[in-house]
Structure 1
């Protein structure tokens, strides 16, 4: 499944978790994953709330131990028990970012604001929700970066927080309202999930939309809902673009045309055919068409020009639509005959009937009827 995130007012770990739960992730699956870490003294719930003009899901974490500090290595070891690669990668990324900022090894980082229950629950919970939803690709609209300052154990720091900026390397960002719009936890989860960022605001990847979720933040904004929007969809097949090569021919024999068509098909053309035409001065002619996969268009173009002696041709890019089909085999007179089934009917393969007609001496039409009767 594809997950597209629209960080309408920003992105935090709890907002992402709320959006994933709202889109259909199992709260029980999330709780089970967090329990595997060995964390104690916590309770995780989800509630429907109104934020601005929208209703959304907000996660609520209640803890008995409100300590917000832990060594990063301890959090990483606890997350590893849940067996969620996204959680492991997110916490490792936080440790590496904090270590680089403070000039210590990642394994020696002591997390202050990010060392509490909330960080572990948000990260492990989001990783579990992504797994429960079957998400394999994450796309995200450009992230709104807030402004101002935030007070930490290291003193007053600018917004976005330095750890957030370090974790957002390579991300697409835009200006946002005052305050902290993207948290280090949210940035780490996007980093760990390998998020791909659209070139413009709201650039949704092509997909079949399956579910939508809204995750609410804790702040109340005066003029808009404070939400992260999650859209879940299944991949759609990429368009099959091919090239049609066309050339008008009034001085080529039927034998040569047949030869060119055979050679083009043998060289990988998807199809080849002719249509009658009348050229200038009333001359009768044939238009040769070759349907070529894009990667073979150059080679087939040279083949057509060399074999026909034409001084030029036209190239058109088209989108090929192929309906699903499958084959079933029937036995007639000791020979296999393939029956091609499509959405709107079934027919025997001509080559199989022709081979059988040569063996039995029976007419093709009669053999075709017998093939249908044998289904």
Structure 2
């Protein structure tokens, strides 16, 4: 179920608190978008994914923290695509050193079992970024993720581990 709440009188500094508390109370996910209300004021639109078991608790928390007078509920259907997660050894080679890390790659498939997309797991990329940084190699997390995913695409048919070379 998706909850939708519009608010035009909460300071931006309050958003992280509301997001954290909502997730702690059982929301599966929360999205906060900027908007302009009917009175021309800037506001926010909250979309909160929640199952029926947590609906009452999450709604009460949102009403308390946002001061809303009402919450819209939207029944949703989620289409789950088939996927597999495989752990791959990622080797980062420089002229002088070599670093390895296990990275989980999520392979998204179509109904014909063909890989149509893939994603490297965020926490694994973050861990590798920190490892490289501890060795004096500075690379942005987003760049490393892009590189790993590009290499993973090349290795799909070969089913090999991923090697990134920097000369």
Q: Considering the TM-score relative to the shorter chain, is it more than 0.5?
A: yes
**Any runs of at least 4 consecutive aligned residues in structure 1 with deviations exceeding 4 A, and if so which?**
none
Measure, in 1, the Cα distance between the counterparts of 2:150 and 2:24. 30
Aligned length: 133
Q: Distance in 2 between matches of 1:271 and 1:255?
A: 19
Native 8 Å contact 1:337 1:371 kept in 2: no
For the pair 1:341 / 2:113, whether they are aligned, the reply is no
Pick aligned residue for 2:132 from 343, 349, 360? 360
Q: CA, structure 1 residues 285+298, in 2 after alignment: closer, same or farther (shift >3 Å)?
A: same
Aligned 1:110-149 pairs, distance under 5 A: none
Q: Secondary structure, in 3 states, of the residue corresponding to 2:15?
A: helix
| Residues 94-152 of structure 1: CA deviation (Å, up to 9, x unaligned) | xxxxxxxxxxxxxxxxxxxxxxxxxxxxxxxxxxxxxxxxxxxxxxxxxxxxxxxxxxx
Number of the residue aligned with 1:281: 39
Distance 1:340 1:254 in 2: 34
TM-score normalised by L of structure 1: 0.33
The CA distance in 2 between the partners of 1:357 and 1:300, in whole Å, is 35
* Structure 1 runs not aligned, ≥5 long: 1-242
Which residue of structure 2 lines up, in the alignment, with residue 86 of structure 1? none
Aligned pair in 2 of structure 1 residues 253, 330: CA closer, same or farther (>3 Å)? farther
Looking at structure 2, the residues matched to 371 and 279 of structure 1 have their Cα atoms a distance apart, in angstroms, of 40
Verify the 8 A CA contact 1:340 1:347 in the aligned structure 2.
yes
Post-superposition Cα deviations, 1:278-301, rounded to whole Å, max 9, x if no partner, equal 112200111011011122211211
Q: Give the RMSD, CA atoms, in angstroms.
A: 2.1
Cα–Cα, structure 1 residues 319 and 281, in superposed 2: closer, same or farther, change >3 Å?
Answer: same
Per-residue deviation, 1:310: 2.1
The alpha carbon displacement at 1:371 in A equals 5.2
Q: What is the Cα deviation at residue 314 of structure 1?
A: 1.2
- CA contact under 8 A between 1:330 and 1:371: conserved in structure 2? no
TM-score w.r.t. length of structure 2: 0.69
SS of residue matched to 1:255: helix
- Which residue is equivalent to 1:370? 148
Matched ranges for 1:68-217 at <5 A:
none
Report which of the two structures shows the higher radius of gyration computed on alpha carbons.
1
SS of aligned partner of 2:77? strand
- 1:256 Cα offset (Å): 1.9
* SS at structure 2 position matched to 1:273: strand
Task: Report the Cα offset of residue 358 of structure 1.
Answer: 2.4
